[in-house]
Structures are given as structure tokens and as C-alpha cells.
Structure 1
């Protein structure tokens, strides 16, 4: 465990330096959620039954979770890039823990996500979003958001190590944009057709988005929803536990594939 902690901290530093040397990616990842908040909040919000300010309060937690789900894309691209450029093979020759590289990458991603959440929430406050719940519930909402991001990054790392090609990972990662559309991130599921509503409510994004809305005090839990949305905090924790239990061993095993 001490070896993993030491090696993982070194890989965390490496990943943070890598992000610092790629400012374009940081700028895009920081400004895109804000742009989507302004676009969805003021353009789409006028076409929905919810009043503008009320919709923006509904939207802010959904966009936070949609951004967290983007960890699948970033984890996939960075892992595939390392494999494609031979970096992963060089790491495999070093006497470091097999899990250190993916752990460091996931931890760095969560730290950057946490920092990027601050300006987004400030913009949210500027457009009318407010924390209606307690301070403890708000802290729990942010912690749940980061846990979900952590789980999504592990999914992405496994897929990136599997594809082994940054171009293919970029194309596949773009498809993850559809995941929030099939959820309650942007619109309530109550008005969806029955079959689509069921799919949306079993989407982990819906459970986490509903949990954040409940903890922030922005919207009540919808009635008659599927179990993960009807019990959003428990459903979110269950989803994160399942995703981590499945994809952490898969990613570590895939990273160590070929190691002698």
C-alpha cells in the first residue's frame, strides 16, 4: 500500500504537469460547461414549461453531472494517447506499482475537476442558481459529484487502454456526448415516453443529477420514478460502487497487460 501511495503521488504530479503543459485542453474543459449553461439556460429554457430562473436552478446540477460524465472521454483519450505514443510501455518497464499510473491519472483528473467546479458555480450563482439546502448537504453534493467523476475516469481509462489508439479514442469519446441527453441532466424525465423514461432513469447520470438537486435543494425527487431516481443518493452511491468495482480491476489489469 505504501508503494502504491508513493508511486501514485509521483504519477499524480506527472499528470498535473501534463495538464499544465496543455493549456488549450484546460481552457476548453473549463469554459465549455459555462457556455452550455448560458446557452441551455437562456435559449432552451424559454421553450420549456419551467420558468427561466427555475429551469436554470434545475440545469446547474444537471450540467455539473454531465461534465463529470465527461471523465469517460478525457480518461479514454489520455490513456489511449499514452499507449499510442509508447509512454505506457516505458512505464511498464519501471519498478512501480501496476496501479500507480491509473490511480495518479484518476486523482489528477478529480483535482482539476474540483478546481473547475468553482468558476462554474460562480456563474451559476450569477444566473440565479442558489443552494437552498444546508451547508453539509452542499458539501455532500460536491463530494458525490467528484466520486462520480472518479468512477467515470476509470471507465475511460479502461476503454482507452483497450482501443490503444488516440484517434479512435477521440472518435469513441465524442459519442459519450449522447449519454447526458438520455438522462434528466437537461430536462425532467416526467414528460418522456414510457420506454425512454425508463432508460433515462436507469442512466447513472439521472441518479446523480437528481441527488445533487435534492442535496442543493433545487428540485424535489420526481414521483413514480425508477429506483435509482426515486432514492437518488442511495442510487448514486450504488452506481458509483458498481462502476468502480467493475472498471478499476479491469483498467489495472489492462494496464499491466504485457508487463513482464
Structure 2
């Protein structure tokens, strides 16, 4: 009798398949990069001159928001990938193998998180090319980059859950764009103080703004970091806990 593969081993096998699919289909990475780069260039050179950031240069204000949002958007294709695997029967074949079912989801999340990290690294490099500068030391900057990757990891779980719930690539692609309100109704591109009062409450306390504030405080040395980072980590942990629970439960029942 063949024994069941361990969670770590099985997750890595599934992740390798996801990574091979990504690198054999470079459009997956290219489209994620195009979206991130487009936002960066548009807000840097088109809208930047018209937005008052109250003492902070707009490029230094905007880039932490762009990186935070890039981690969110880069995870959107995870929903389509998982829905496509479900529709094609690939996930059903994995269920018949002697491996923990959780490994199927964990492997997919790992592969997509690597893709998110690559997109964020290229976007960060371009940010420096257009004038972004770090004012709080490179250790803090690396910590900020790690927060962006972690935020992307959290939303990969969210999009994987959405992909499993829809089980249809077209529907999953449409559902993924629910992330748009989170990105634009936030402090990523404009100060939330400029928004109407009824909108400002949501913008100040939703996860994109919270994470962006932490990233901005680390890169720009805008004040004490501990509170911003703690709040951002709490939001991230909550997103992971809820999304992972839904994803695993849905996969177990399907």
C-alpha cells in the first residue's frame, strides 16, 4: 500500500506544477505587470501634479499605495486559475491521490504568492526609476516590501476561495474585480482627508489603507511604526483566517 504524502511534500509538488504553468505562460506575469506599471505611470505622470499630498512629494506618497494595490491585483488571477482547474477536472484527480486535500490549496497559494512577489519586485524597481526614494533606511524598506508580499499572500487566499466558490473561469474573473473599490476608495493615491465624510470612514479603516499606512511609515519615516504595522498585521491575519477557512471547507465539500 502506498502511504499518504506529507502535507509539505504534497504542497510543494502542487506548487511546482503551478509555477511551471506560470513560467510556461508568461502572459500571466506580463498582464499582472502591465496593470501595476500602468497605475504607477498614470498616477506618477498624469495625475501626480494635480494632487496635493500636504508636504510629501507625490511620488513618495503614491508608491507605497501602488505597491500595496499591486499585491492585491497580482493575486486576482489565482481565482481564474483555481476555477479553471476545477472546471477541467484537475482538482478532482488530485482528490483521488494519497495526499492531504489541504495540500492542493496550499500548493496553489504558494505558487501564486511567488508570482505576486516577482511582480512586486519588478514594480518596486520601476518605482525607483521614476523617482521614488526611501527615507527610513533599507532595513525598513525591506520590511515594507515583506508586508506587501504578505498582503498579496492574504488576498491570494481570498481569490482562491472565490475561484472555488464560482468554479467557472469567466465568473471568477468577474468576481475578482470586486477588488477595485478597495484599491480606489483608499489612501493609496489621494489623502483620505480629501474625501466626503461618509466615504472617509470606510477609506480610513479598510485593509488597503491600513496596509498602505504601514508601508508608507516604514519607507518614509512618517512616525511611529508599531501601531501601523500591528494594525496591518491584524487585518492580514484576519483575511487569511477567513479566506483559508472558506477555501478549505469549499474544497473539502466539492
Once residues 27 and 52 of structure 1 are traced to their aligned partners in structure 2, the CA distance between those partners, rounded to angstroms, is 35
Is 1:23 matched up with 2:22?
A: no
Once residues 252 and 210 of structure 1 are traced to their aligned partners in structure 2, the CA distance between those partners, rounded to angstroms, is 31
Q: Which residue among 169, 172, 187 is the counterpart of 1:169?
A: 172
Partner of 1:132: 135
Check whether the contact 2:79–2:172 (CA below 8 A) recurs between aligned residues: yes
Deviation of 1:178 after TM superposition, in Å, equals: 2.4
Partner of 1:38: 41
Check whether the contact 1:69–1:149 (CA below 8 A) recurs between aligned residues: yes
Check whether the contact 2:15–2:110 (CA below 8 A) recurs between aligned residues: yes
Once residues 49 and 218 of structure 2 are traced to their aligned partners in structure 1, the CA distance between those partners, rounded to angstroms, is 26
Partner of 1:236: 232
**63-72 vs 87-96, which moves further:** 63-72
Once residues 196 and 230 of structure 1 are traced to their aligned partners in structure 2, the CA distance between those partners, rounded to angstroms, is 26
Q: Which residue among 123, 140, 144 is the counterpart of 1:120?
A: 123
Is 1:205 matched up with 2:185?
A: no
Partner of 2:253: 257
Flag the 1:201–1:246 CA change in 2: closer, same or farther, 3 A.
same
Deviation of 1:72 after TM superposition, in Å, equals: 4.9
> Secondary structure in 2 aligned to 1:95?
coil
Deviation of 1:105 after TM superposition, in Å, equals: 1.4
Gap regions ≥5 residues in structure 1 = 222-228
Gap regions ≥5 residues in structure 2 = none
* C-alpha RMSD of the superposition: 2.2
Q: Which residue among 207, 213, 218 is the counterpart of 1:215?
A: 218
Once residues 218 and 36 of structure 1 are traced to their aligned partners in structure 2, the CA distance between those partners, rounded to angstroms, is 24
Partner of 1:224: none
TM-score (norm: length of structure 2): 0.92
Is 1:111 matched up with 2:111?
A: no
**Number of aligned positions between the proteins:** 251
Flag the 1:22–1:174 CA change in 2: closer, same or farther, 3 A.
same
Q: Deviations over 1:199-245 (max 9, x none)?
A: 01111000111100000116558xxxxxxx99321111000111112
Once residues 229 and 199 of structure 2 are traced to their aligned partners in structure 1, the CA distance between those partners, rounded to angstroms, is 22
TM-score (norm: length of structure 1): 0.90
Check whether the contact 1:62–1:186 (CA below 8 A) recurs between aligned residues: yes
**187-196 vs 118-127, which moves further:** 118-127
Check whether the contact 2:74–2:116 (CA below 8 A) recurs between aligned residues: no
> Secondary structure in 2 aligned to 1:231?
helix
Q: Which residue among 77, 81, 85 is the counterpart of 1:78?
A: 81
Once residues 70 and 209 of structure 2 are traced to their aligned partners in structure 1, the CA distance between those partners, rounded to angstroms, is 13
Segments of 4+ moved more than 4 angstroms: 218-221
Partner of 1:64: 67
